Amino acid sequence: MGATNKLLFQVTRVTALSTMLCCISADGAPRQLRRADLLHWVGCLTQKEAMIGFSRSYSGPVGLRTRYIYGIRDTIDKRDTDIFLIVYGANGRAASYYEISVDDPDTEGELVYRTSGSLRKEGINWALDDAEGGTATRIWAQKMVDRVSLTKLQVIPLSEIPTPVKSCWWSGPHPKK
């Protein structure tokens, strides 16, 4: 096999592996996210109760730029996260990430906040800037940021993002005020 063929084979192999890692959840089952769900969840981030919302100044001239992985079931650290979402700043140098559970059986369909943080651009990669949690949480978050950064960029026009009137967020077994 010539040097050109070897290089082409390696590039094809890396591309195929990257595609598989981005499109398949940790348990091997591919999941498709409905656009309506994505719009709802992004809209939930703008609610006052969220306390983790992104600034609408993040939007660029065509809308909000996001990447995500949906359907995460990591058996190593037993996380029950359903979406890991990155929202990019309009300037291209800052971003925020959100780790949210959406299928927890105890929440009656409300979202469960797991963790979030800000990112900064380092060369061509994104690195944790300000993040919650200890070392293990930060390692998990950086691993997910690297993985999500390989997925397709989604641009959502601001006019499509609703801010639900009713709170989206689970507050535990206590009644909401």
Separation CA 47–CA 57 (nearest Å): 15
Residue 7 lies in a domain: no
What's 63's DSSP letter? -
- The lowest-confidence range among 20-24, 38-42, 172-176 is 20-24
Is 17 domain-assigned?
no
pLDDT at 8 exceeding the cut of 50:
no
Quick check: is 176 in a domain? Answer: no
Decide if 79 is inside a domain.
Answer: yes
pLDDT per residue over 35-47, tens digit each? 888 898 888 887 8
121 found inside a domain: yes
SS3 annotation, the chain: CCHHHHHHHHHHHHHHHHHHHHHCCCCCCCCCCCHHHHHHHHHHCCCHHHCCCCCHHHCCCCCEEEEEEECCCECCCCECCCEEEEEECCCCCEEEEEEEECCCHHHCCCEEEEEEEEEEEECCEEEEEEECCCHHHHHHHHHHHHHHCCCCCEEECHHHCCCCCCCCECCCCCCCC
Write the pLDDT tens digit of every residue in 90-138: 878 889 999 888 877 777 788 888 888 889 999 999 999 888 888 888 8
Cα separations in angstroms, 38 against 31, 55, 122, 132, 142: 13, 17, 27, 23, 22
The total of structural domains in the chain comes to: 1
Domain of 61, in residue numbers: 27-160
